[in-house]
Amino acid sequence: MRSRRFFWTLYSLLLMAGIAFLPALGQAKNAPTLKVSYVFTTHHTPLMIAAIKGEEFRDQGVWLRPLLDKQKYELVADGDTVAFLDFVVAKSGSESATLFAMKHIDMALASVTAMMAAVDKGTPVKVLCPLQTEGMALVAPTDSSLENWDAFLAAANNAKQPIKIGYHSPTSAPKIVFEGALRESGLTVTENPNDYQAKVLMVDLKETGNMLPALASKQVEAIVGPSPFPEVAVSRGVGKVVADLRDLPPEGRWHDYPCCVTAARDDVIEAHPEVMRTFIELMAKTNTWCNQNQSEAGALAASWIGIPESAGRASKLVFLTGFTDSWMANSGNYLDILNHMDKFNGQLKGKTLQQAMTLMFDTRFIEPAGQ
Q: Please report, for the domain that includes residue 349, its CATH number.
A: 3.40.190.10
Instruction: Please give the share of the chain, as a percent, with pLDDT higher than 70.
Output: 92
Residues 196 and 110 in one domain: no
Q: How confident is the model at residue 117 (pLDDT cuts 50, 70, 90)?
A: very high
In a domain, 176, yes or no: yes
Has residue 14 been placed in a domain?
no
On whether the CB atoms of residues 84 and 161 are closer than 8 A, the answer is no
d(CA 343, CA 195): 19
Report whether pLDDT(14) > 50.
no
23 pLDDT more than 50: no
- 33 with 126, same domain: the answer is yes
C-beta of residue 283 within 8 angstroms of C-beta of residue 51: no
Q: For every residue of 63-119, which 3-state class applies, written as one string?
A: EEEEEECCCEEEEEECCEEEEEEEEEEECCHHHHHHHHHCCCCCEEEEEHHHHHHHH
Same domain, 130 and 140: no
Residue-wise pLDDT for 52-107, tens only, equals 999 999 999 999 999 999 999 999 999 999 999 999 999 999 999 999 999 999 99
Residue 64 is assigned to a structural domain of this protein = yes
Q: Pick from 247, 267, 284: which residue ends a domain?
A: 247
pLDDT: is 345 or 5 the higher one?
345
Provide the domain count of the chain: 2
Looking at every residue in the chain, the average pLDDT score rounds to 91
State residue 340's pLDDT score.
Answer: 87
At 312 the three-state DSSP class reads: helix
Q: What b/e sequence results for 310-348 when a residue is b if at least 16 CB atoms lie within 10 Å of its CB, and e otherwise? A: ebbbbbbbebbbbbbeebbebbbbbbebbbeeebbeebb
Whole-angstrom Cα Rg for the chain: 23
**Does one domain contain both 143 and 242?**
yes
Which of 5-19, 35-49, 142-156 has the lowest average pLDDT? 5-19
Q: CA angle, 48 as apex, 24 and 90 as ends, to 5°?
A: 105
Whether residues 242 and 265 fall in one domain: no
Q: Does residue 23 form part of some domain?
A: no
Residue 238 lies in a domain: yes
Same domain assignment for residues 165 and 304: no
How does DSSP assign 128-190, residue by residue? EEE-EE--EEEEE-TT-S--SHHHHHHHHHH-SSPEEEEES-TT-HHHHHHHHHHHHTT--EE
Query: What is the C-alpha to C-alpha distance for residues 343 and 341, in angstroms, rounded to an integer?
Result: 5
- Same domain? 147 vs 236: yes
In a domain, 159, yes or no: yes
Mean pLDDT over 161-184 rounds to: 93
**Whole-angstrom distance, CA of residue 140 vs CA of residue 219:** 11
Q: Please check whether residue 53 lies inside any domain of the structure.
A: yes
- pLDDT value at 343 more than 80: yes
Q: What is the bridge-based pairing of β-strands 163-167 and 200-204?
A: parallel
Q: Is the pLDDT of residue 1 over 80?
A: no
Confidence of residue 5 (pLDDT cuts 50, 70, 90): low
Among residues 224, 247, 270, the one where a domain terminates is 247
My answer on whether 117 and 42 are in the same domain is yes
The pLDDT assigned to 28 comes to: 61
Read off the pLDDT of residues 86-97 as tens digits, 9 standing for 90 and up: 999 999 999 999
Q: Are residues 122 and 36 in the same domain?
A: yes
Q: Does residue 116 sit in the same domain as residue 165?
A: no
| Phi, psi for 215 (deg, rounded to 5) | -70, -50
Q: Tens digit of pLDDT for each residue in 258-300? A: 999 999 999 999 999 999 999 999 999 999 999 999 999 999 9
Residue 10's pLDDT band (boundaries 50, 70, 90)?
very low
- Which pLDDT value is given to residue 134? 87
Its pTM stands at 0.85
User: Does residue 299 fall inside a structural domain?
Assistant: yes
pLDDT band per the 50, 70, 90 thresholds, residue 370? low
Final residue belonging to a domain, choices 213, 247, 281: 247
**What is each CA distance from 52 to 28, 63, 312, in whole angstroms?**
21, 10, 15
One domain, residues 323 and 344: yes
- Residues 261, 130, single domain; the answer is yes
Q: Which residues constitute the domain of residue 106?
A: 29-134+257-360
